């Protein structure tokens, strides 16, 4: 075991791929603190962090065992990217579930009558639907920043850290997302506000 500790990440990956399971234990020990902290910093929930952390290393194990690992010299960056993608997947799934539960409450729900007429509610539902369609048509990097900012209320600093870009790049992506949303709305004759 002491001999394994002195191996590089890449050597440990190769050893693990060829059947030395202890090699992965050392990789886990080396990277667990950094990955766990990264996940927790973003999701701010201990149970969710543990779930994503475990899934991150399970994906790594499966990928290596299937012989699909090819990030020579960059295991730390590779495992961080897996965690990042799982976090984004969680945010997307959570957003979809929240959108669905809001829509499922229905226009004719009595508690919503105080918000305006049925026609107002139908217009609001149509606007939300149009906005979702437009967001789905944005480039991935713009959609990602927009969802994190407006649906998850993350700061641009947090978005930059999650996506691995500078704050200026995150701001630029948001700017282009909004420009593209306006353009798509005009091209499709969509009105995205109540007058």
Specify the pLDDT at position 77: 86
Q: pLDDT tens, position by position, for the chain (195 residues)?
A: 788 999 999 999 999 999 999 999 999 999 999 999 988 888 888 988 998 998 899 889 989 988 888 877 789 889 988 998 888 888 777 655 555 444 443 333 333 334 456 666 677 777 777 788 888 888 988 988 888 888 778 888 888 888 889 989 999 998 998 888 888 888 887 776 654
Nearest to 71 by CA among 4, 13, 17, 6: 13
CA–centroid distance for 91 within its chain: 5
Helices 167-187, 156-163: inter-axial angle, 10-degree rounding: 100
Provide the CATH number for the domain formed by 110-187 in this structure: 1.10.10.10
Please state which CATH class domain 2-86 belongs to: mainly alpha
| Assessment of whether the complete model's pTM goes beyond 0.75 | no
Q: How far apart are CA 31 and CA 12, in angstroms?
A: 13
The secondary element (H helix, E strand) that includes residue 168 is helix 167-187
CB 26 within 8 A of CB 5: yes
DSSP for 110-158, written as a single string: GGGGGGS-HHHHHHHHHHHHHHHHHHHTS-HHHHHHHIIIIIS---HHH
In this structure, is the dihedral angle defined by the CA atoms of residues 137, 144, 73 and 55, taken in order, positive or negative?
A: negative
- Ranges of each domain in the chain: 2-86, 110-187
Nearest to 151 by CA among 93, 111, 190, 192: 93
Specify the pLDDT at position 116: 57
């Amino acid at each position: 075991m002491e001999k394994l500790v002195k191996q590089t990440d890449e050597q440990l990956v190769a050893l693990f791929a060829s059947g030395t399971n202890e090699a992965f234990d050392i990789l886990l020990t080396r990277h667990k603190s950094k990955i766990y902290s990264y996940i927790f910093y973003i999701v701010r929930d201990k149970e969710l962090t543990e779930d994503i952390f475990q899934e991150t290393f399970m994906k790594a194990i499966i990928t290596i065992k299937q012989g699909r690992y090819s990030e020579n010299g960059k295991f730390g960056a590779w495992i961080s990217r897996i965690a990042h993608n799982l976090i984004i997947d969680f945010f997307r799934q959570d957003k979809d579930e929240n959108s669905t539960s809001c829509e499922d409450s229905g226009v004719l729900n009595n508690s919503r009558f105080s918000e305006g007429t049925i026609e107002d509610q139908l217009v609001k539902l149509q606007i939300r639907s149009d906005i979702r369609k437009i967001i789905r048509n944005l480039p991935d990097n713009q959609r990602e920043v927009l969802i994190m900012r407006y649906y998850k209320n993350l700061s641009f600093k947090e978005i930059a850290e999650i996506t691995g870009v500078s704050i200026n790049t995150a701001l630029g992506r948001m700017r282009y997302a909004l420009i593209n949303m306006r353009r798509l709305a005009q091209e499709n004759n969509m009105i995205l506000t109540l007058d």
